[in-house]
Amino acid sequence: MGETLIQKIMARASSKESVSPGEIVTCAVDLAMILDSGGPRKIWPRLEQLGVGVYDNEKVVVVADHFVPAADPQSAAILKLTRDFVKKFDIKHFYDMEGICHVLMAENGHLQPGMFCCGGDSHSTMGGAFGCYMAGFGAIEMSGVVVTGNIWSVVPETIKVDWSGTFGDGVAAKDIMLFLARELGMENAFKVVEYGGPTIREMSMMERMVLTNMAAELGAETGLIAPDEITLEAIRAGGTEPSEDALDWRSDDDATFCAEHSFDADTLAPQVAAPHKPSNSAPAEDYEKDKIHVDQAYIGACVGAKLTDLHMVASVLKGKQVKSGTRLMVAPSSKKIMTEAAADGTLATITEAGGMILPSGCGACAGLGAGIIADGEVCISSTNRNFQGRMGSNESLVYLGSPYTVAAAAVAGHIVDPRELLS
């Protein structure tokens, strides 16, 4: 019987010839990524209690992205502790205020098809766009990973999701995920979502990363996309050569999936998720009759402020102005993206329209730093979650949309279908 991609990855990681869904295995970890938020400040005390160090200073990657730049003494102390941890254990890969961890993993060539990776953040699933296993774990589990280089796991079943057709104007990968959150729900625990089909194969790596990132919003263990030439190009762009077997990591034609779904991108409209769940989604045009005033439009996070996302924003804003009474804030996902967007004129288009550029980092997506919102305020955001209190006050309201849709709301001052402005 054929095997799914996740079965093949976990068989390799557990040094078994094959594994089956539901089987419990112990996997060797190829890469462990920890952050300033839940990393050294929670893991280091446990290492001291145990009298141990990190299992491999080449395989443990540390990123400071949540509390950057420090906005108060507490944040500064967390960052100092993170830097001290890196020095103490001679960590070879440390990214200090260079961008959001999941984007940096891609930019710096850390991910290869077939790898088994663990991250100290729920959206570590973004790495699955490279055909590797990467999922998020809490600080206790990551402590064990950092010490031993191993973790046990249940082999997940796989939900196969295929897309065919071509996006219309104003439609992006984010719309797929808001649609899927509604259609598949957010309770897909111990499942992997594997994306495929002609639409996915035509996507850029930055758009594919949206799909695997928001597998977390589906409640899945992780998301996966089988590698192809676009994957190999992205690996090379990160300064690494693809492994010789890179293109071998894919599900067999006769693999068994626990569910299979097929959808048509030709008919997909821009989507908006209402508070307080990504699954509370509907076509953007359904919101227009209510003219929901937007206090803040936010472009940010690992999922929503990559270079392609900023290009979407600029395509809407070109020659227009942000509506009076609405503020547009843009936090590029990394310093590299910031530099590229400055060089190609994208940032100029955004600022000329009235947008404000914020530092690269998790920021308001995680309710930290610049851009958080107050009681009663309404925000539409390109981020991945709109849980109550996620971006600031518990009494605020957060809607989710693609970068096209967020930019369109900034111009209109209320939630609209972005196709109106693009036409």
Residue 369 has what pLDDT?
Answer: 84
Strands 271-273 and 397-401 come out as antiparallel
- For residue 40, pLDDT beyond 80: yes
CA angle centred on 356, ends 352 and 270, rounded to 5°: 85
**Where does 171-299 show beta strands of DSSP type E?**
191-196, 222-225, 259-264, 271-273, 281-283, 296-299
Sign of CA dihedral 50, 55, 58, 62: negative
Domain count, the chain: 2
Q: What is the pLDDT of residues 79-122, one digit of tens each?
A: 999 999 999 999 999 999 999 999 999 999 999 999 999 999 99
Cβ–Cβ < 8 Å for 183, 58: no
Query: Do 193 and 308 fall into the same domain?
Result: no
Query: Do 258 and 383 fall into the same domain?
Result: no
Query: Do 174 and 284 fall into the same domain?
Result: no
Query: Do 9 and 93 fall into the same domain?
Result: yes
Query: Do 90 and 118 fall into the same domain?
Result: yes
- For residue 151, pLDDT beyond 80: yes
Mean pLDDT of the chain: 96
Q: What is the pLDDT of residues 51-63, one digit of tens each?
A: 999 999 999 999 9
Q: What is the pLDDT of residues 227-275, one digit of tens each?
A: 999 999 999 999 999 999 999 999 999 999 999 999 999 999 999 999 9
Query: Do 255 and 185 fall into the same domain?
Result: yes
Q: What is the mean pLDDT of residues 384-408?
A: 95
Query: Do 220 and 283 fall into the same domain?
Result: no
- Dihedral (C-alpha) 110, 116, 121, 122: value to the nearest 10 degrees? 130
Query: Do 254 and 135 fall into the same domain?
Result: yes
Q: Model's pTM, two decimal places? A: 0.95
Of 264, 298, 320, which one is at a domain's C-terminal end?
A: 264
Parent domain of 14: 5-241+248-264
Query: Do 219 and 307 fall into the same domain?
Result: no
Tokens 């990393």, residue located: 39
Which CATH number goes with the domain that contains 324? 3.30.499.10
Query: Do 225 and 275 fall into the same domain?
Result: no
Tokens of 298: 């936010």
- For residue 1, pLDDT beyond 90: no
Cβ–Cβ < 8 Å for 367, 383: no
- For 231, half-sphere exposure in the C-beta direction (CA atoms, 13 angstrom radius) is 27
Tokens of 157: 């079943």
3-state secondary structure of 321: coil
Query: Do 258 and 293 fall into the same domain?
Result: no
Tokens of 333: 């996902």
Q: What is the pLDDT of residues 292-332, one digit of tens each?
A: 999 999 999 999 999 999 999 999 999 999 999 999 999 99
Query: Do 260 and 278 fall into the same domain?
Result: no
Q: What is the mean pLDDT of residues 386-414?
A: 96
Residue 107 has what pLDDT?
Answer: 97
